[in-house]
Amino acid sequence: MSSTAEHIQEGFYTITPYLYGTLELLDFLKNAFGAEEVHRGVPDESGRLHAEVKIGDSHVLLGSGWFADPSMSAAIWIYVPDVDATCKRAAQAGATLLREPADQTWGDRVGGVKDPCGNTWWIATHKGRG
């Protein structure tokens, strides 16, 4: 059962996998695991993409641009009640700020940090679509 907390997008859980990839990965997830395409952003002029699929009862995010870090093949997406405060706390705990929190078109406010071990965390608070 997914969370009913207001700061988490409906159908999601506190932590969601975020895979780095392109349309090729989107097609792979559909063909290999029966993923249902939930959202596909319009690629920008350089071909960067953000998409969302559902495999069984779990959502998986993927992208090739806005949140991508070419040195890693995956990241951790975590929903929190206050993305701004959490990014600040993470930086105080030793993380490197990758992206200041900003509102996104799909209704999340997102910031990014890299922890002291090199893992990328995309921290989000769902504000609502539109």
Q: What is the CATH number of the domain that holds 39?
A: 3.10.180.10
In a domain, 8, yes or no: no
Per-residue pLDDT, 84: 96
Per-residue pLDDT, 55: 84
In a domain, 6, yes or no: no
DSSP label of 72: -
Distance CA 35, CA 27 (A): 9
Domain that holds residue 118: 15-126
Give Cα 129 distance to the centre of its chain: 15
Q: 126 by DSSP, 3-state: which?
A: strand
In a domain, 10, yes or no: no
In a domain, 9, yes or no: no
Per-residue pLDDT, 104: 92
Per-residue pLDDT 10s for the chain (130 aa) are: 555 688 998 888 888 888 877 777 788 788 877 889 998 887 777 777 788 999 888 898 888 766 666 676 778 888 999 999 999 989 998 899 999 999 998 899 999 988 877 878 899 999 987 6
Per-residue pLDDT, 90: 92
Residue 54 dihedral angles phi and psi, to the nearest 5°: -125, 125
Domains identified in the chain, total number: 1
- Cα-Cα-Cα-Cα torsion 90, 98, 61, 19, nearest 10 degrees, comes to -100
Tokens 């029966």, residue located: 34
In a domain, 1, yes or no: no
